[in-house]
Amino acid sequence: MTQKAVVAEKKVGKTKKSGADFLIDGLKKQKVEVIFGYPGGAVLPIYDALYESGVFHVLARHEQGSIHAAEGYARITGKPGVVIATSGPGATNIVTGLADAMIDSLPLVVFTGQVATSVIGSDAFQEADILGITTPITKHNYQVRKPEDLPRIIKEAFYIASSGRPGPVLIDIPKDVAVLEGEAEADPEMDLPGYQPTLQPNYLQIRKLVEAVSGAKRPVILAGAGVLHAKASAELKQYAEQQGIPVVHTLLGLGGFPADHPLFVGMGGMHGIYAANMALSKCDLLINIGARFDDRLTGNLASFAPEAEVAHIDIDPAEIGKNVPTKIPVVGDAREALVQLIAQNGKNPDASEWIQQIKDWKEEFPYWYEENGNELKPQKLMEMLHEKTNGDAIVVTDVGQHQMWAAQYYTFNKPNAWVTSGGLGTMGFCVPAAIGAQLAQPDATVAAVVGDAGFQMTSQELGVIAEMNLPIKIIIVNNHSLGMVRQWQEIFYKGRYSHSLLPHQPSFVKLAEAYGIKAYKVTTIDEAEEKMAEAFKTDGPILLDMNVTPDENVYPMVAPGKGINEMVGVKK
């Protein structure tokens, strides 16, 4: 069939349906595997259409849980996570997740109910201006005015969410629009004249980069999550090997390049490894691939990569030059750019001394902690986790010290195995995100590594884990404190622990058991060995409440406002 014939065929056959039915159709057309949601008045028509629709819906126990689950799913699959929430409080409960997905570039399509068109603006029951509220934290948002617009809007939303720089798209549906019928084509054309993400990098810029590499003495690649979004891990490895360029990862990039590779330097940034921060500080050519030069990575910008010529490959042109002046901007998909760079097969840099230098830094200043008999150090816990899962688990974390220790000690060797809230640093992310990750890969081993404080922010989602018997291994890194806050108060506020100690806790074991989830309390290395081994042999979910050294700090560290070349705690 010719192109025209296809188009012509599409044009015929308008169907008449309710907004809610168009929505279900749209989800099916997009091959949505799972949606995470929570019903309420304004979405009753949609839930009625869902009933017996065959669309797989997971009932979270809080809307925040549903959106973080969708984020976990999106992070692992690269496909949009789908959420439904009701108007007003349902919609406002997903705000944190939207902000989180926006800053970490996760594709989401979120449907919110809205009060009926006739009463919008009248402070009706459960009315919230969710378009206004979510404008700065969505890649795009819509309010549907007519049911017949839904097929087009849904198609656009999925496309916008997952193309270019991914991000969340919200579709607000007034109740009457879900009920009313309209006539629309099954597969309408998208109407997005203002949206054309650039995928193919400019050849001349690629050439400039090839030239720069060939003349460099101290090149380094900084690889961010853009590499993962572009599914470019294999190309990154091939390129780094071809040119002999060491690779530093951002927190969110972990797994994009194998941690056990000789060219891997480590994670950079506030709690990165000394060698990585020194490599960034001393390099003469910095090739940023899909990272956004976040302040937790760069430290004080005035002293960031002072000797480097900066090249930046990014699908979002606005990221290039935003924080760091850039000599070689390459706008495009990371994979396309790497493929072109590999094809150029430029002259290798003369970097043997540099690579030796980095090796020396790595050897001399590895991550370190002090052991103390049978006491369970959190770092030891992470090493044990790696060992018990053969480094093969999907690790999902919350936010705080345990997150940094997981990033430092788990050593990620494969892509899409690391789910963490980076840009927003959202406590409460872990447990629901683990649900999404497990549903994305039902056969994977999923370890949910969570702090004792963050766990209490979304622990209600244990209900979902129990109900669905998801084999998630929840590991509470229990330091009886808001550890990261406590650490900062110790270091920067003279040990005045203002509201950061959490001695009063429920029994997490009993809590899990109340949900019907097997659980153990662990207090020593020996117990940890035993219970962790058991956990990863258990079929269903399990929770380990693991007491770790309460006053352990994350090191090394770049103090806020300092350059990343000024790390403290690099050695025992």
Partner 1 sequence: MKGILSLLVNNRPGVLNRITNLFSKRNYNIESITVGHSEQEGISRITVVVQVDDENVIEQMTKQLNKQIDVLKVTDITSQSIVARELALLKVVATSQTRSEIYALIEPFRGSVIDVSKESLTIQITGETDKIEAFIELLKPYGIKELARTGTTAFPRGTQRSTNNKSLSIV
Ligand X SMILES: Cc1ncc(C[n+]2csc(CCOP(=O)(O)OP(=O)(O)O)c2C)c(N)n1
567 sits near ligand X (criterion: CB under 6 A) = no
Select from 24-32, 86-94, 275-283, 474-482 the region that touches Mg ion (CB under 5 A): 474-482
Q: How far apart are CB 169 and partner 1 at their closest, in Å?
A: 9
If the CB atoms of residues 141 and 479 are measured against Mg ion, the closer one turns out to be 479
Taking the C-alpha atoms of residue 93 and residue 130, their distance in angstroms, rounded to an integer, is: 11
**484 is in the binding site of which of ligand X, partner 1, Mg ion, none (Cβ under 5 to 8 A by kind)?**
ligand X
**192 is in the binding site of which of Mg ion, ligand X, partner 1, none (Cβ under 5 to 8 A by kind)?**
partner 1
If the CB atoms of residues 165 and 388 are measured against partner 1, the closer one turns out to be 165
72 neighbors 84 (Cβ within 8 angstroms): no
Nearest C-alpha neighbor of 497 from the set 488, 510, 506, 505: 488
Query: 125 catalytic, yes or no?
Result: yes
Distance of CA 529 to the CA centre of its chain: 29
**141 is in the binding site of which of partner 1, Mg ion, ligand X, none (Cβ under 5 to 8 A by kind)?**
partner 1
Query: 126 catalytic, yes or no?
Result: yes
386 neighbors 373 (Cβ within 8 angstroms): no
| β partners of residue 222 | 248, 288
421 in helix, strand or coil? Answer: coil
Among 479, 489, 500, 547, binds Mg ion (CB under 5 A): 479
**398 is in the binding site of which of ligand X, Mg ion, partner 1, none (Cβ under 5 to 8 A by kind)?**
ligand X
Residue nearest to Mg ion (CB): 451
For the CA atoms of the chain, what is the radius of gyration? 25
30 sits near ligand X (criterion: CB under 6 A) = no
From the candidates 126, 242, 357, 460, which is the catalytic residue?
Answer: 126
Site for ligand X in 234-253 (CB under 6 A): none
From the candidates 17, 22, 63, 309, which is the catalytic residue?
Answer: 63
Taking the C-alpha atoms of residue 551 and residue 169, their distance in angstroms, rounded to an integer, is: 41
Taking the C-alpha atoms of residue 114 and residue 46, their distance in angstroms, rounded to an integer, is: 12
Q: How far apart are CB 556 and partner 1 at their closest, in Å?
A: 32
485 sits near ligand X (criterion: CB under 6 A) = yes
Helices (H) and strands (E) in the chain, counts: 24, 20
**426 is in the binding site of which of ligand X, Mg ion, partner 1, none (Cβ under 5 to 8 A by kind)?**
ligand X
159 in helix, strand or coil? Answer: helix
Nearest C-alpha neighbor of 448 from the set 422, 477, 488, 480: 477
Pairing of the two strands 14-18 and 181-185? antiparallel
Among 102, 286, 399, 446, binds ligand X (CB under 6 A): 399
394 in helix, strand or coil? Answer: strand
Q: How far apart are CB 427 and Mg ion at their closest, in Å?
A: 10
55 neighbors 181 (Cβ within 8 angstroms): no
Q: How far apart are CB 292 and partner 1 at their closest, in Å?
A: 13
Interface residues toward partner 1, by CB under 8 A: 131-132, 135-136, 139-141, 143, 145, 160, 192-195, 316-318, 321-322
367 neighbors 383 (Cβ within 8 angstroms): no
Burial of residue 196, with CB atoms counted within 10 A of its CB: 0-12 exposed, 13-18 middle, 19 or more buried: exposed
**399 is in the binding site of which of partner 1, ligand X, Mg ion, none (Cβ under 5 to 8 A by kind)?**
ligand X
Taking the C-alpha atoms of residue 213 and residue 206, their distance in angstroms, rounded to an integer, is: 11
Among 86, 105, 340, 426, binds ligand X (CB under 6 A): 426
Pairing of the two strands 247-249 and 57-59? unpaired
451 sits near ligand X (criterion: CB under 6 A) = yes
**253 is in the binding site of which of ligand X, partner 1, Mg ion, none (Cβ under 5 to 8 A by kind)?**
none
If the CB atoms of residues 370 and 551 are measured against ligand X, the closer one turns out to be 551
484 sits near ligand X (criterion: CB under 6 A) = yes
**139 is in the binding site of which of ligand X, Mg ion, partner 1, none (Cβ under 5 to 8 A by kind)?**
partner 1
Q: How far apart are CB 130 and partner 1 at their closest, in Å?
A: 11
Pairing of the two strands 446-451 and 394-397? parallel
351-360: burial string, b at 16+ Cβ within 10 Å, e else = beebbebbee
**322 is in the binding site of which of ligand X, partner 1, Mg ion, none (Cβ under 5 to 8 A by kind)?**
partner 1
Select from 172-180, 219-227, 250-258, 421-429 the region that touches ligand X (CB under 6 A): 421-429
425 sits near ligand X (criterion: CB under 6 A) = yes
236 neighbors 249 (Cβ within 8 angstroms): no
Distance of CA 107 to the CA centre of its chain: 10
Instruction: Retrieve residue 200's tokens.
Output: 């193919």
Query: Residues 440, 446, 450, 452: is their CA dihedral positive or negative?
Result: positive
Q: How far apart are CB 139 and ligand X at their closest, in Å?
A: 22
268 neighbors 408 (Cβ within 8 angstroms): no
Can you tell me which residue has the tokens 């900084």? 222
From the candidates 278, 382, 427, 484, which is the catalytic residue?
Answer: 484
If the CB atoms of residues 111 and 515 are measured against partner 1, the closer one turns out to be 111
Burial of residue 466, with CB atoms counted within 10 A of its CB: 0-12 exposed, 13-18 middle, 19 or more buried: middle
If the CB atoms of residues 44 and 199 are measured against partner 1, the closer one turns out to be 199
Q: How many CB atoms lie within 10 A of CB 206?
A: 22
452 sits near Mg ion (criterion: CB under 5 A) = yes
483 sits near ligand X (criterion: CB under 6 A) = yes
Among 88, 90, 246, 454, binds ligand X (CB under 6 A): 454
219 in helix, strand or coil? Answer: strand
396 sits near ligand X (criterion: CB under 6 A) = no
If the CB atoms of residues 404 and 435 are measured against Mg ion, the closer one turns out to be 404
Interface with Mg ion (CB under 5 A): 451-453, 479, 483
Interface with ligand X (CB under 6 A): 398-402, 425-428, 451-454, 477, 479, 481-485
Residues acting as catalytic residues: 63, 125-126, 175, 484
